[in-house]
Amino acid sequence: MYSDVARWAQKTMGLTISRFEDYFFLNGQRIPTLYSYSQQVLPTPADWPPEAYPAGYMFVDRLGDWTPPPALEEFLAAGPPPVYVGFSSMVGMDPKELTRRVLGALERAGARAVLATGWGGLQADEWPESVFAVESVPHDWLFPRMAAIVHHGGGGSTAMGLRLGQPAVICPFVGDQPFWGELLAERGFGPKPIL
């Protein structure tokens, strides 16, 4: 794929093409790298070069006027603040089994929940009355209405939960998610991650 695009750019735009092999250098100079997290959560490591800079969390404000479905507003008004449960595109190998475990945990806790089915496909033949399932809802609208946030530890969910001061339970799946879960627990923003 790279070579096809490179040949096209060379032929149509007359660009000189070189392989990009060192992700920290370009033409012998260090590339500035911005990291989207807050130094209040994790100070800059002492061994980082000056070109590596934690720029703070970055947020995209909602565009336009979003209106929640009336059924969601009714669910929220019908009882104490629920727990948000959502894993974005992360569900592991068996979405039905993960859904079963989530519903079981909610039942044992006696908690109401807004469950974001998301890209990952959390699914049930029938949802309990204590659960409102929705494909997606803007976090900046929903999170302030929740008692706690249960999520995968991705950058966006973590940042929004911190921004709004919500306690978080992180259930990491891959990559840096376990690190952020451990760090947030260490800082007192929630319990240890559920691995």
Residue 105 belongs to some domain of the structure: yes
pLDDT of residue 19: 63
Clarify whether residues 77 and 114 are in a common domain.
yes
- Please report whether residue 44 resides in a domain: yes
Task: Please report whether residue 9 resides in a domain.
Answer: no
pLDDT at 63: 65
pLDDT along the chain (195 residues), means of 10: 71 73 70 89 90 88 82 97 88 81 94 88 86 90 93 86 88 88 90 87
Tell me which DSSP letter residue 79 carries: S
In angstroms, the CA 8 to CA 135 distance is 40
Q: How many CB atoms lie within 10 A of CB 107?
A: 12
Residue 4 domain flag: no
pLDDT (0 to 100) of residue 47: 93
Q: Report the relative pairing of strands 83-86 and 148-151 from DSSP bridges.
A: parallel
Asked whether residue 152 is assigned to any structural domain, the reply reads yes
| Structural domain count of the chain | 2
Beta strands in 36-167 (DSSP E): 52-54, 83-86, 113-116, 131-134, 148-151
